[in-house]
Amino acid sequence: MRRSGKEYTLWTIAIVIVLVLALIPVLWLLSISLKPASEVSDGRIIPAHFSLENYKSLFEGGFNDSPFIHPLVNSIAIALITTAIAITLASFTAYAIARLEFPGKRLILAGALAIAMFPPISIVGPLFDMWRAIGIYDSYPGLIIPYLTFSLPLAIYVLTAFFREIPWDLEQAAQVDGATPFQAFTKVIMPLAAPGIFTAAILVFIFCWNDFVFAISLTSSDASRTVPAALAFFTGESTFTAPTGAIAAAAIVVTIPIIVFVLFFQRRIVSGLTAGAVKG
Amino acid sequence: MSEIELEGVTKVFDDGYEAVKDMNLDIGDGEFMILVGPSGCGKSTALRMIAGLEDITSGELKIDGEEVNDRSPKDRDIAMVFQNYALYPHMTVRENMGFALKLAGVDKAEIERKVEAAARTLDLEPHLDRRPANLSGGQRQRVAMGRAMIREPKVFLYDEPLSNLDLELRVRLRLEIAQMQKSLQSTAVYVTHDQTEAMTLADRIVVLRKGRIEQVGGPKELYDAPANLFVAGFIGTPKMNMIDISSGARSSDGRTIEIGLHRLTFGREIPPNAAKIGFRPEHCARQSAGAEKLSIALTEARLLATENLGDRSFQYVSTEFGEMAFAGTEHDEPGQLPGMIYVPESRLHFFDASGNRLKGVDC
């Protein structure tokens, strides 16, 4: 579809407004993170003096004493493990839902949707008690399990839409060519669903990366605390200084992987999010 | 090289729809068998059952004498060409064609050699490293054929392979398939709804309707001696002309039939139980030539349309006996209607009240 020049201009203006609104806070955060402690509240968007002191403070003390490195490692590990498990399970599930007729198929889809809609805050309390009772409170599994609960439905939905788009003939062609169903899946279906798998993976990763509710409630130490939760425990240099600068610096640092991820897979995500929309 | 036998093969889908009913068919070694019929007649389902892509509800399917009902497609040693090509979009032409061999664990150099050979035959050499998306429809269909051919399977299955192509390509690829089939000498089952394809390619044709076989025979047999009204109407363009004579009054010598005020005169006595007579448009002459024939005087003819095909033309005419088509020649004046139609006796087809061909009256 070709847009007229006027329509194009209007869209551009709208997009610029949205971008500005979304990016000003990030810019503000960046500005604060680059200011020395004494100037944090001077209200200037361009710092009078640039300082990397806040970033240094994040990493000071090495692995054991830095308030940030351990949580960063936790965040990366937990998000990656969850993404890997969620995508593996979701691709099998989604494939079955898209291709096979089996009893309970609708129930699974409805159940997945219901779980995805469930407010996380309502299960935090019970989980806290349960996890303490079975001994996985403040551990990786303690966070990975609830993350899987909420990210699996999302991944299943995205992937089901993708698998439905792949012509069934291709799989049958593979079978006639001598592939086992598993080979047909891994050699033909998976490569074709790659954009969908990337989309789902990134969505799951971002969900885990950003979560605060579970991270703050189900952890108690650096053993498993992730960055969003750890930020809340930042302290200033003395009792009387707010850790604003350090928090801003940490926020910038944790945003970077997401930006890199999205830029790197941008084309795949765009084709991924729109693929189910229009029948090609 | 192999034979395929279908014994009472039936397919009932989960929703209770019976797509193929008690199909019995022997496909000989090296035979090119074409399944033809209107859409929904079960031809594709039958093919997919042979391929193993569809379960057989009851009956037996044998390839080379072995029952293969429960064998998965990969264990049947068949190759299939799909209507929409079904090429793997993420693989190059080379990888597409070599995929089956790679799965079978064939040596890389051997795969390469076979792919190159097939590409040469199919004129695909310059395109080996391109992806299907960058190929034209005809090239894609050739890749699909190459992919099937390279495996040297027992049986080739074609599921309407040419129906997505334009006419010119269709004719060209039809020739290529015929040549390929001739040189490979392998058994093939081919599904189409295009009777021209069926007539030009087949050793034998199976005409299907609503899941049942109406007739099996060579192209000429189907054209010259259709087993029933359905086959008579399905094979040949334009359709065979039909006149219902069941309500007509016969003369005592059985050579004239009067339907209302209209009269049909035959060269000799017609079978007493004939309910319908049929004759093809291309066998209708406007001048009498020879003795034994049907002559029809048309008094209420009205021209509906003329189709000019260059070397010949067809007039579609509304007559007192229903709509009919007649072949004309370039000498006929356009728009001029025939007053008399003559059909040689040997070109007449007689059908009984239930629509079956009357045997013993073929000349």
Which tens digit of pLDDT belongs to each residue from A214-267? 999 999 988 899 999 988 888 766 666 778 888 899 999 988 888 887 888 777
Asked if A184 is an interface residue toward chain B (Cβ–Cβ < 8 A), one would say no
Quick one: B142 and B94 in the same domain? Answer: yes
pLDDT of B148 > 50? The answer is yes
Nearest 5 degrees, angle CA A195-CA A198-CA A200? 110
Nearest residue to A64 via CA among A261, A223, A274: A223
Between CA B51 and CA B85 the distance in angstroms is 16
Q: What is the ipTM of this complex?
A: 0.80
Q: Is residue A32 part of a domain?
A: no
Taking only the tens place, the pLDDT of each residue in B151-183 is 889 999 999 999 888 888 889 889 988 988 888
**Which of B224-228, B242-246, B307-311, B330-334 has the lowest average pLDDT?**
B330-334
- The answer to whether the peptide bond before residue B238 is cis (omega within 30 degrees of 0) is yes
H/E stretch holding B331: none
Print the domain residue range for B346: 239-351
Q: What are phi and psi of B43, to 5 degrees?
A: -65, -40
Nearest residue to B264 via CA among B341, B356, B360, B354: B341
**What average pLDDT does the segment A159-168 reach?**
86
Print the domain residue range for A186: 59-275
Q: Is residue A10 part of a domain?
A: no
Q: Is residue B318 part of a domain?
A: yes
Between CA B195 and CA B215 the distance in angstroms is 14
Quick one: B198 and B331 in the same domain? Answer: no
Q: Which of A101, A176, A183 sits opposite B73 (nearest CB)?
A: A176
Residue at a domain's end among B230, B258, B275: B230
- Of the pLDDT bands very low, low, confident and very high (cuts 50, 70, 90), residue B1 is low
Size of interface A-B (CB pairs under 8 A): 59
Give me the CATH number covering residue B90: 3.40.50.300
Q: Is residue B359 part of a domain?
A: no
Quick one: B274 and B150 in the same domain? Answer: no
Packing angle of the helix pair B108-121, B93-103 (nearest 10 deg):
130
H/E stretch holding B298: none
pLDDT of residue A280: 33
Portion of chain B with pLDDT greater than 90, in percent:
55
**Chain A residue numbers touching B74 (CB-CB < 8 A):** 175-180
> Amino acid identity of B363?
C
For residue B148, the chain A residue with the least C-alpha distance is A177
Q: How many domains does chain B have?
A: 2
pLDDT of residue B230: 94
Q: Is residue B361 part of a domain?
A: no
Q: Which of A174, A176, A183 sits opposite B78 (nearest CB)?
A: A176
Assign 3-class secondary structure to A34-46. CCCHHHCCCCCCC
Q: How many domains does chain A have?
A: 1
Quick one: B209 and B113 in the same domain? Answer: yes
Q: Which of B74, B80, B90 sits opposite A179 (nearest CB)?
A: B74
Quick one: B222 and B281 in the same domain? Answer: no
Q: Is residue B363 part of a domain?
A: no
Between CA A113 and CA A231 the distance in angstroms is 31
What would you measure as the largest C-alpha separation in chain B, in angstroms? Answer: 80
Asked if A180 is an interface residue toward chain B (Cβ–Cβ < 8 A), one would say yes
Quick one: B214 and B333 in the same domain? Answer: no
Long-range contacts: B330-335, Cβ < 8 Å, 24+? B332/B286, B334/B306, B335/B303, B335/B306
How many angstroms away from the CA of B228 is the closest CA of chain A? 35
Quick one: B222 and B280 in the same domain? Answer: no
